[in-house]
């Protein structure tokens, strides 16, 4: 279901109220399957000699050149629990990757045409961005049994502009359920301030979080006022950059593949100390 004219008035009202919008059946099942297959083929071709582990809890990764240099490249990041003490993989390589980031949208012949569809740009434009710029893409595996949790965060922490402008499009490529780690969101939470920024340290050595507001993010719980965003394959979830959201670990036997795109308004200032920089 293409959206050449963007979101409807009712959808815009709902997004402004809640800070997120769930749009079922936006992407065909065949398209979802083709993106999943492409991601698996990329992993099959991967030589895991360069190991980078993704975590939203442990920030040791943030000084990793593999991570910081991924803004305009296609790079792979393993799950924290992927390795045994001797350094060997706990399970198959295909089931050990956390994500691929952060430039599939511009560097891959399958993901690029999907990512740059006019209908997605129309959705972002209808949400008020004057000069939409697609700056980041991530393929998220959420693999069976070891798919890591994603801590509660605001996307603007990682893609900061002045004023705040980042918007996320999150596509369920497989069914996302309570069992396999669907998204959870805090309705109306986007009306609260941005708590911190993720920046490159001066001098180019590592990264850190720069506090902006001392109020902590709301406590995480899988109960009200948090809302689970269960989504069938082909569903789009639109996320405001200030919306607090998270996902639980996947301990189920089923994966939860997803693909996300992030846009910022090029009419806004994008600081040079943001972690993500593209050459």
pLDDT of residue 212: 97
- With respect to residue 209, please indicate whether it lies within any of the assigned structural domains: yes
- With respect to residue 275, please indicate whether it lies within any of the assigned structural domains: no
Interacting residues of 279 by C-beta distance below 8 A, sequence separation 6+ = 71, 72
CATH number of the domain at 14, please: 2.60.120.620
Report pLDDT digits (tens) over 260-277.
Answer: 999 999 999 999 999 999
pLDDT of residue 67: 83
| DSSP 3-state of 67 | helix
- With respect to residue 270, please indicate whether it lies within any of the assigned structural domains: no
> Within 10 A of 236 (CB to CB), how many other CB atoms are there?
21
Please give the Cα distance from 22 to 5 (Å, whole number): 17
- With respect to residue 136, please indicate whether it lies within any of the assigned structural domains: yes
- With respect to residue 271, please indicate whether it lies within any of the assigned structural domains: no
- With respect to residue 173, please indicate whether it lies within any of the assigned structural domains: yes
Report pLDDT digits (tens) over 24-43.
Answer: 999 999 999 999 999 999 99
Minimum mean pLDDT among 46-60, 124-138, 201-215: which range? 46-60
pLDDT of residue 52: 59
pTM of the model: 0.93
Report pLDDT digits (tens) over 199-243.
Answer: 998 876 788 999 999 999 999 999 999 999 999 999 999 999 999
Interacting residues of 275 by C-beta distance below 8 A, sequence separation 6+ = 62, 68, 158, 198, 199, 200, 207
| DSSP 3-state of 184 | strand
Please give the Cα distance from 140 to 63 (Å, whole number): 21
Please give the Cα distance from 107 to 33 (Å, whole number): 20
Higher-confidence residue: 3 or 157? Answer: 157
Domain that holds residue 58: 9-265
Please give the Cα distance from 270 to 200 (Å, whole number): 13
- With respect to residue 222, please indicate whether it lies within any of the assigned structural domains: yes
What is the domain count for the chain? 1
pLDDT at 57 over 70: no
């Amino acid at each position: 279901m293409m959206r050449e004219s963007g979101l409807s008035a009712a959808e815009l009202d709902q997004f402004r109220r809640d800070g997120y919008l769930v749009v079922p059946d936006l992407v065909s099942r065949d398209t979802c399957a083709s993106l999943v297959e492409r991601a698996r083929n990329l992993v099959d071709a991967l030589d895991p000699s360069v190991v980078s582990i993704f975590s939203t809890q442990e920030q040791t990764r943030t000084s990793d050149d593999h991570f910081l240099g991924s803004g305009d490249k296609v790079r792979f990041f393993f799950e924290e629990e992927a390795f045994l003490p001797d350094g060997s993989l706990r399970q198959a390589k295909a089931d050990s990757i956390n994500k691929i980031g952060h430039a599939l949208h511009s560097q891959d012949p399958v993901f690029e045409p999907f990512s740059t569809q006019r209908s997605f740009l129309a959705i972002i434009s209808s949400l008020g961005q004057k000069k939409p710029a697609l700056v980041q893409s991530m393929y998220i595996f959420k693999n069976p049994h070891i798919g890591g949790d994603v801590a509660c965060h605001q996307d603007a922490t990682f893609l900061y502009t002045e004023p705040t402008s980042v918007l996320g499009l999150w596509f369920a490529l497989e069914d996302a359920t309570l069992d396999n780690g669907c998204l959870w969101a805090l309705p109306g939470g986007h009306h609260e301030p941005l708590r911190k920024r993720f920046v490159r340290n001066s001098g180019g050595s590592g990264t850190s979080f720069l506090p902006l507001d001392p109020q902590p993010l709301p406590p995480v719980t899988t109960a009200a006022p948090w809302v689970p965003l269960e989504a069938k394959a082909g569903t789009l979830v639109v996320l405001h950059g200030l919306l607090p959201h998270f996902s639980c670990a996947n301990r189920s036997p089923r994966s939860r593949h997803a693909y996300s795109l992030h846009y910022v308004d090029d009419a806004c200032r994008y600081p040079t100390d943001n972690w993500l920089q593209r050459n």
